């Protein structure tokens, strides 16, 4: 849609002057302020933010929608931390009820994909005190020795902060070391909600906002890329969501190292926050749309389908999203244990591309760094 046509449509959707002013800025490719971000959450309807987000999405990416071929390794669900929203971890005190993979078992998972055209392994799990910096450095070396071209996206700042402190190394040295051993990029997890008012209530014992951001900054300084998430739809207010996005936007201005922003819908299955109702689908779509409007310096916006469910993930493609993540192959348990409708998350590339095409978009296979894979092999 042309800018003039978008503006005309927006005039039909609201008579609120403050919203029209925000739209004017966005269409002129100007950044909106935190106050304007909160105002969008408070006042704008889904059609309004959706139209604006879709305009930005099409300006940046046209109809292209990315997906990738990936699998996860979850080394352990034993964790020294006790985040209230987590349905997945077993406290270290009850470690016999959890799982803990050996290096050989994790390499066997990698080897299972030897003849498959996967491009990425995502390694993330609980924080087990026995799994040290050296343990993971050894794992990285062994994965790379076996399959050098497989991109390793691994470890949240929660895991890294713990490993580095135990090994008594600085963040800069620890990151450099893991990068040299084979770590290619960082996933977006562990961010939750940065603002201490909320962080203290939902995950008070793990790395704080400053620590999370410092680790991503150190990775960016080494030329590594990373993602960022936000766990939304629980006890946070619109102000806290905007504050979270603002901190990320500022770091991105400084380093340019983030690839994608991933809002993660809070799922309330079987955790200490099960009494908190989940967000509605309208609120989910508004979240994605406003994220696309606010995060002007993030190239990509991802809807992680195992968390949102494939149908709602498909719908986000009309609300600013240009990436659905990957095939997954039922290798992660975090979201099924939290009550997602995707109890065995796995999609073939045929299913992923169909899902994208049904939304009127053009599927493109990507690698982790968003290079498109033009010689994509037969869809299976």
The option from ligand V47, ligand SF4, none interacting with 233 (CB < 5 to 8 A, set by class) reads none
Radius of gyration of the chain (CA): 20
- Told to check if 207 binds ligand SF4 by CB under 6 A, we report no
Residue 116 DSSP label: S
Stretch that binds ligand SF4, among 79-87, 221-229, 254-262, 353-361 (CB under 6 A): 79-87
- Told to check if 356 binds ligand V47 by CB under 6 A, we report no
The answer to whether 170 touches 200, Cβ cutoff 8 Å, is no
- Told to check if 202 binds ligand V47 by CB under 6 A, we report no
Q: Which is nearer to ligand SF4, 43 or 84 (CB)?
A: 84
Residue nearest ligand V47 (C-beta atom): 189
Residue ranges in 115-229 assigned as alpha helix (H): 133-146, 157-167, 171-181, 196-202, 209-221
Q: Is the dihedral of CA 323, 335, 263, 83 positive or negative?
A: negative
The option from ligand SF4, ligand V47, none interacting with 126 (CB < 5 to 8 A, set by class) reads ligand SF4
* Distance (Å, whole) CA 218 – CA 180: 14
Q: Which is nearer to ligand SF4, 127 or 245 (CB)?
A: 127
Query: What is the longest distance spanned by two Cα atoms in the chain?
Result: 62
Q: Which is nearer to ligand V47, 189 or 309 (CB)?
A: 189
Q: Which is nearer to ligand SF4, 10 or 334 (CB)?
A: 334
- Told to check if 192 binds ligand V47 by CB under 6 A, we report yes
Q: Which is nearer to ligand V47, 178 or 307 (CB)?
A: 307
Q: Which residues contact 269 (CB under 8 A, 6 or more apart)?
A: 87, 337, 338, 339, 340
Nearest distance, CB of residue 2 and ligand V47, angstroms: 33
- Told to check if 229 binds ligand V47 by CB under 6 A, we report yes
Q: Which is nearer to ligand SF4, 126 or 187 (CB)?
A: 126
Stretch that binds ligand V47, among 18-26, 84-92, 106-114, 142-150 (CB under 6 A): 84-92
- The residue whose two tokens read 């799990």 is 125
Residue 217 DSSP label: H
Nearest distance, CB of residue 48 and ligand V47, angstroms: 27
Stretch that binds ligand SF4, among 86-94, 141-149, 246-254, 277-285 (CB under 6 A): 86-94
The option from ligand SF4, ligand V47, none interacting with 227 (CB < 5 to 8 A, set by class) reads ligand V47
3-state secondary structure of 168: coil
* Distance (Å, whole) CA 144 – CA 121: 11
Question: What is the end-to-end Cα distance of the chain in Å, rounded?
Answer: 34
Among 73, 86, 178, 285, binds ligand V47 (CB under 6 A): 86
| Residue 323: strand pairing partners | 66, 302
Helix (H) or strand (E) holding 67: strand 64-68
> To 5 degrees, how large is the angle CA 293–CA 299–CA 301?
60
| Span 301-340, contacts to ligand V47 by CB under 6 A | 304, 307, 325, 334, 338
Q: Which is nearer to ligand V47, 39 or 334 (CB)?
A: 334
* Distance (Å, whole) CA 175 – CA 220: 10
The option from ligand SF4, ligand V47, none interacting with 188 (CB < 5 to 8 A, set by class) reads ligand V47
């Amino acid at each position: 849609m042309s800018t003039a046509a978008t503006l005309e449509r927006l005039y039909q959707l609201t008579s609120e002057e403050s919203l029209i002013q925000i739209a004017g800025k966005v269409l002129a490719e100007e950044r909106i302020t935190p106050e304007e971000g909160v105002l969008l959450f408070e006042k704008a309807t889904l059609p309004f933010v959706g139209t604006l987000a879709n305009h930005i999405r099409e300006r940046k990416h046209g109809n292209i929608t990315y997906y990738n071929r990936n699998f996860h390794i979850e080394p352990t669900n034993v964790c020294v931390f006790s985040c209230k929203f987590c349905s997945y971890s077993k406290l270290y005190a009850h470690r016999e009820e959890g799982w803990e993979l050996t290096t050989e078992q994790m390499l066997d998972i990698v080897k299972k994909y030897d003849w498959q055209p996967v491009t990425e392994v995502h390694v993330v799990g609980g924080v087990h005190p026995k799994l040290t910096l050296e343990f993971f450095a050894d794992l990285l070396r062994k994965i790379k020795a076996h399959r050098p071209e497989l991109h390793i996206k691994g470890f949240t700042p929660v895991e890294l902060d713990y490993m580095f402190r135990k090994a008594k190394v600085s963040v800069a040295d620890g990151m450099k070391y893991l990068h040299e051993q084979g770590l290619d990029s960082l996933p977006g997890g562990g961010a939750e909600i940065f603002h201490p008012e909320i962080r203290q209530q939902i995950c008070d014992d793990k790395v704080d906002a400053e620590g999370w951001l410092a680790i991503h900054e150190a990775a960016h300084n080494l030329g590594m890329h990373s993602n960022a998430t936000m766990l939304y739809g629980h006890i946070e207010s619109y102000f806290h969501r905007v504050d979270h996005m603002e901190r990320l936007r500022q770091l991105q201005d400084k380093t340019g190292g983030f690839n994608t922003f991933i809002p993660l819908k809070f799922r309330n299955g079987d955790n200490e926050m099960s009494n908190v109702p989940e967000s509605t689908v309208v609120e989910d779509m508004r979240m994605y749309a406003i994220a696309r409007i606010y995060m002007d310096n993030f190239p990509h916006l991802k809807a992680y389908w195992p968390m949102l469910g494939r149908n709602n993930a498909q719908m986000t493609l009309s609300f600013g999203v240009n990436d659905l993540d990957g095939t997954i192959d039922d290798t992660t348990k975090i979201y099924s244990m939290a009550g997602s409708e995707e109890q065995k998350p796995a999609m073939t590339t045929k299913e992923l591309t169909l899902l994208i095409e049904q939304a009127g978009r053009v599927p493109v296979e990507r690698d982790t760094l968003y290079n498109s894979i033009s010689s994509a092999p037969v869809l299976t």
